[in-house]
């Protein structure tokens, strides 16, 4: 039985969302606050650019990283630096979502009451 392969162009044309989580909230010193402490990236095979889907994804990432369990956590955990000091999303941490279909990048920051859209590129 032959194994099917897809080209890089076909792979890039698939609808997907690339998620990058950057933990910034807990830096070792006050001077490091707001700087990148650690980050992970992974691809989800779905376009979450619809407003409801985006909020569901952000809330699920928050929940999974704070509970250290769930489907998204199972994707994130193996990617983490073993020297990490903090993986629960907290105020100041950021999530970047790249939507392959629209080639748009949104950066969201965890706030005390929900999410703040920091940038759209």
Residue 25: count of CB within 10 angstroms of its CB: 18
The pTM assigned to this predicted structure is 0.79
Q: How many helices (H) and strands (E) does the chain have?
A: 3, 5
pLDDT in tens, 19-58: 999 988 666 566 666 566 789 999 998 888 887 899 999 9
Instruction: Kindly state the tokens that stand for 41.
Output: 């990236």
pLDDT in tens, 78-114: 999 887 777 899 999 999 999 988 999 999 999 999 9
pLDDT in tens, 47-66: 888 878 999 999 999 999 99
Contacts of residue 17, defined as CB under 8 A and 6 or more positions apart, other chains included, come to: 43, 44, 46, 47, 48, 49, 57, 97, 98, 99, 100
Beta strands in the chain (DSSP E): 17-23, 38-44, 94-99, 104-111, 114-120
CA atoms of 120 and 107, how far apart (whole Å):
7
User: What's the pLDDT at 33?
Assistant: 61
């Amino acid at each position: 039985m032959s194994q099917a392969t897809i080209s890089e162009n076909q792979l890039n044309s698939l609808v997907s969302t690339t998620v990058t989580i950057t933990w910034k909230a807990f830096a070792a010193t006050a001077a490091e606050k707001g700087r990148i402490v650690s980050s992970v990236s992974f691809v989800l095979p779905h376009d979450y650019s619809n407003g409801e889907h985006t909020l569901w994804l952000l809330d699920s990432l928050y929940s999974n990283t704070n509970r250290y369990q769930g489907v998204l956590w199972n994707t994130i955990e193996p990617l983490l630096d073993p020297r990490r000091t903090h993986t629960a999303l907290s105020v100041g941490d950021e999530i970047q979502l790249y939507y392959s279909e629209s080639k748009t990048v949104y950066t969201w920051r965890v706030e005390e009451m929900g999410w703040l859209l920091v940038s759209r590129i």
